[in-house]
Amino acid sequence: MRTSGYWAALTGAALTVGLTAGPTRGQNVTIVEFPDPAGFYQNTTLLLDGDVGYVPSVDNDMLWSFSVVTGELLDPDGLPLPAPGTASDPFLFANDLLAIPGWFPSQGIFVADISDPTNLTQVGIIAFPPTTNIQGQNVEVDDEGVIGYVAGFPNDTLYSFNVSTLSLEDPDGLSLPGNPDRIARAGDRVAMVDTTNGRIMVADVSDPANLTFVGIIELPGTNTFGSNDNIVFADDGRTGFVSSNERVLYSFDVLTLSLPDPDGIAFGTQSFGDHVAIYGDTAACIWSRGLAFIDLSDHTDLTLISNADFGGTVAPQGSATVAFTADGSMVAIPVVYPDDYVYTFEVATGNQVAPRLLVDDQPNYLTVFDPSNRVGVICSGVEADNIWLINGLFPVVCVGDLDGDNDTDQSDLGMLLTDWGCDDPVNGCAGDLDGDDDTDQADLGILLADWGCGTEP
């Protein structure tokens, strides 16, 4: 692990990494390093559980735990995965259990006990039929955190498994009429991208021991899907969204097997659609040369909010992900061209909210976590194979800032007190922070709670 900062005066670090400017409060980066020959696939993801992160590596086939606060490896030796491993994705279950699909040494789910992050232990392996391949496939977890679902190929089968009993719930699985890749669960339904026929397959998982096929949602025209075309669901628990290679975002209903917006919405200008992230009524859609923000508030009429302005030609990696901030107003996304950068954008306008950050080789999986909007990104290049934990990449939003200078201080308090007692539903009040068209005790409470925001520590 090494720590570096953008401003030596703030961090005392000798190494400066490539951000040309930063917000008022400064930034720092902690880089989590792993013992050679640990490496990552381009589609490797990390799992965050409180202040601890987990990630599997290849070449030495290990599961690692690390502190997201200090970047230190908590179990320095890691937990060996049975060879050949080839694991890329960890998934969290109840009772401090973690599951990883891969080769152990045949196809299966590796289950680990992570109750003590400093001493990871193997619980067991759930064996899968030799006719299937689940390595690199995503897992969906039931509400109790005990049953998992995963799709296998080339036998095109959906499986259910139990991490407590280390067994398959439905040993034969559910045979599917197409090739499943990314899957997503909404209640008792699992939706799956069909990469063979360009459509959505839906299964009923209300009885994990007896999975049943519900039907197919056909999409208009010609559609194809790649391995990074994932499904996301709205908060209503039935409306899903998926982006095709042809750069069209569709909405679909897993209960009625219908398309609320039959034509979907096209985005981007060339090449392919990729990963989609959702926050409330907003979708962020990656395409081969950019990023689009889509309004989902009316599932029958998807509309464009904005396009991210990168200021030039860029290329996200095929396995790149985009992630929202805690309030959904901004996102972060990694690219590999013109260099290895992390960009940040405001959703409403598509404008960059901070200078792009130069990171190590091949940034792919990215997540934004905790209320302070820290960013975690896996760099999978041969010369990297590390994880960047970035503080302060997004500008600080000060809710008590009344004078527009990006901090909450004496000047703002003076404005509020000068406006004290204002009550004007027509023109509004200069000291109104809670949006109720007056300046009173509630506004003062908001300002005092935000006191010091945006000022130098």
- What pLDDT, on a 0 to 100 scale, did the predictor assign at position 67? 98
**For the sheet containing 248-253, what is the strand order?**
231-233, 239-243, 248-253, 265-266
- What pLDDT, on a 0 to 100 scale, did the predictor assign at position 23? 32
Domain edges within the chain: 2-391, 410-449
- What pLDDT, on a 0 to 100 scale, did the predictor assign at position 406? 81
In this structure, which CATH number among 2.70.70.10, 2.130.10.10, 3.40.50.620, 3.40.630.30 belongs to the domain 2-391? 2.130.10.10
- What pLDDT, on a 0 to 100 scale, did the predictor assign at position 16? 30
Backbone angles phi, psi at 34, to 5 degrees: -125, 145
Positive or negative torsion for Cα 374, 378, 379, 384? positive
- What pLDDT, on a 0 to 100 scale, did the predictor assign at position 91? 98
Long-range contacts of the stretch 121-125 (C-beta < 8 A, 24+): 121/79, 122/79, 123/97, 123/163, 123/166, 124/166, 125/82, 125/166
8 A C-beta contact, residue 224 and residue 215? no
Q: Is the pTM of this model over 0.75?
A: yes
- What pLDDT, on a 0 to 100 scale, did the predictor assign at position 13? 26
Residue 352 CB neighbours (<10 A) = 16
- What pLDDT, on a 0 to 100 scale, did the predictor assign at position 456? 56
- What pLDDT, on a 0 to 100 scale, did the predictor assign at position 370? 85
Walk along the chain (457 residues) and give the pLDDT tens digit of each residue.
333 332 222 222 222 333 333 333 356 899 999 998 999 999 999 999 999 999 999 988 999 999 999 999 999 999 999 988 789 999 999 999 999 999 999 999 999 999 999 999 999 999 999 999 999 999 999 999 999 999 999 999 999 999 999 999 999 999 999 999 999 999 999 999 999 999 999 999 999 999 999 999 999 999 999 888 999 999 999 999 999 999 999 999 999 999 999 999 999 998 899 999 999 999 999 999 999 999 999 999 999 999 999 999 999 988 999 999 999 999 999 999 999 999 999 999 999 999 999 999 999 999 999 888 999 999 998 778 999 999 999 988 788 999 988 889 999 999 999 999 999 999 999 999 999 999 999 999 999 998 988 775 5
Which H or E run contains 293?
Answer: strand 290-295
